[in-house]
Amino acid sequence: MAQKKSFSLDDLAKAHGIERKVEEKKEDYSKYEPKKYKERNNFTPKSFNSTLFTYPFNFVSLGDKVEKEERKLGKNSGKIECSLINYTPIFTGGEKSKSGKHTTEQFLEDRENYIISASTLKGEIRNIIETITHSCIRCKNEEIVPEEFKPCDNLKRLCFACRLFGTTVEKADENGNSAYSGRVYFSDAKLPKAKVGTSLTPLKPTMTPNEKLKKYYLDKSGRMRGRKFYWHHENLLSNKNNKLPYKREGFKPKDSVTIVQLIKSLKTFSFKVEFKKLTDIELGMLIYALELEKDLLHKIGRGKALGLGSCKISIDSFELFEESRYNFSSFTPNRKVEDKNIYLEKIKNRYLENNSQVKQLRVILNEKNKLDFSKGAYLRRDSNKGNMPEILSYK
Ligand SMILES: [Zn+2]
């Protein structure tokens, strides 16, 4: 008669090839208690705690004041041809289709090309120029914008961006004018479809942080923190925690899912920017905002928090048209190829050196940073929202 074996759950599990789960330790909530706040305020990147500070965005401070002047026309008209390379996958929304409760969004396209729209490009470039030149702020939460940064309302006193990109004011001047049109015209950026790989990627419904929450936009004293920019980081979609098992058999998500058509990394889009009657400083600013600096990237399209849309823009050609007979046809004999550095030099002293906003842009737009987004890039349910470190603390 066989001896009766004693057994434990561990043995039973082993016999069936099951790994027993050791009960997870309950989280120690005392670490969220107010007495620890002081520690978090002494934030340095070296003691960086990714569970507390992986906000996908931060704010470039507003600067002192909006510098307002009357618009003056310059002598520079011409054309800049650019290429845009996406360092991370990119998505700009085109056609939507619904199947059941799920929505699929295609990348914006025409017959032959994938497209980043002219307005998307212009919005990005205007945003950079607004930040550097302390221009006015047009946003949905207008009530949180400090008085001196409210949208321009007088054509005789316009901020840099309104002078360059145009604006509409409520009250007409003595000549009946209530608007200036912009003097910078973007084309769509195009990427020929042939040979381009795209992938349909489902996004978790909870992936959009509720950024409307005003508390993220205000500092502890209730003042607007500044203009929002997203950190660059590698595409978080490669992290399985952020991906839905959409194609796995038996996958039945409870919530509706948005599936987007992403363009894979390192594709080259082309676009051009035409401009009319810019001053030397305005042209310098436009050139700077397009190319930025070494290691600084734009963020374009949707899914910025996920790491999508980090892009480098380079100027391939820069031509000025002769003043009296400028003509936007590329066959005009009056064009001359110019050295863009002449114009960059003109904005250097006044706008790029000792400009606190440029210093902050150099940190947050840098393709390299010390943040760790490996666990996600969403706003966390910590009680520390008022203590978001300033951008320069991450330097
Ligand atoms: Zn303005």
By the 10 Å C-beta count (0-12 exposed, 13-18 middle, 19+ buried), 97 is classed as exposed
CA of 167 to the centre of ligand 1 (A): 7
| Structural domain spans, the chain | 56-394
CA of 189 to the centre of ligand 1 (A): 26
Nearest to 156 by CA among 133, 131, 177: 177
**Terminal-residue alpha carbon distance, the chain:** 75
Q: Check residue 40 and give its pLDDT.
A: 29
CA of 165 to the centre of ligand 1 (A): 9
Q: Check residue 255 and give its pLDDT.
A: 65
The per-residue pLDDT string of the chain (395 residues; one tens digit each, 9 = 90 and over) reads 444 444 454 555 555 555 544 433 444 433 333 322 233 233 333 334 444 456 788 999 998 877 799 999 999 999 999 999 999 999 998 899 988 878 889 999 999 999 999 999 999 999 999 999 999 998 877 888 999 999 999 999 999 999 999 999 888 888 888 999 999 999 999 999 987 888 888 776 544 445 456 667 888 788 899 999 999 987 666 555 555 444 444 455 566 778 889 998 889 999 999 999 999 999 999 999 999 999 999 999 998 888 899 999 999 999 998 765 545 555 455 677 778 999 999 999 999 999 999 999 999 999 888 777 766 655 554 445 456 778 888 77
CA of 163 to the centre of ligand 1 (A): 7
CA of 273 to the centre of ligand 1 (A): 21
What distance in Å separates the CA atoms of residue 69 and residue 216, rounded to the nearest whole number?
32
- Residue 254's alpha-carbon distances to 41, 100, 101, 241, in angstroms, are 39, 12, 10, 17
Question: By the 8 A CB rule, do 80 and 290 touch?
Answer: yes
**How far is CA 46 from its chain centroid?**
26
Question: By the 8 A CB rule, do 325 and 334 touch?
Answer: yes
What distance in Å separates the CA atoms of residue 205 and residue 309, rounded to the nearest whole number?
19
Q: What is the DSSP string of 38-86?
A: HHHHS--GGG--HHHH--SEEEE---S----B-----SEEEEEEEEEEE
Nearest to 214 by CA among 304, 142, 124: 142
Protein residues with C-beta less than 5 angstroms from the ion ligand 1: 136, 152, 159, 162
Q: Check residue 16 and give its pLDDT.
A: 54
| Rg, the chain, Cα only | 26
CA of 362 to the centre of ligand 1 (A): 24
CA of 279 to the centre of ligand 1 (A): 17
What distance in Å separates the CA atoms of residue 49 and residue 206, rounded to the nearest whole number?
23
DSSP classification of residue 239: S
DSSP classification of residue 251: -
CA of 156 to the centre of ligand 1 (A): 11
DSSP classification of residue 350: I
Question: By the 8 A CB rule, do 298 and 313 touch?
Answer: yes
DSSP classification of residue 395: -
Q: E strands, the chain, where?
A: 57-60, 76-86, 93-99, 102-107, 113-116, 166-168, 179-181, 184-186, 189-192, 198-203, 227-230, 258-263, 268-278, 298-299, 310-321, 335-337
DSSP classification of residue 285: H
CA of 69 to the centre of ligand 1 (A): 10
Q: Check residue 321 and give its pLDDT.
A: 87
Question: By the 8 A CB rule, do 190 and 113 touch?
Answer: yes
CA of 223 to the centre of ligand 1 (A): 20
Q: E strands, 112-197, where?
A: 113-116, 166-168, 179-181, 184-186, 189-192
Q: Check residue 27 and give its pLDDT.
A: 40
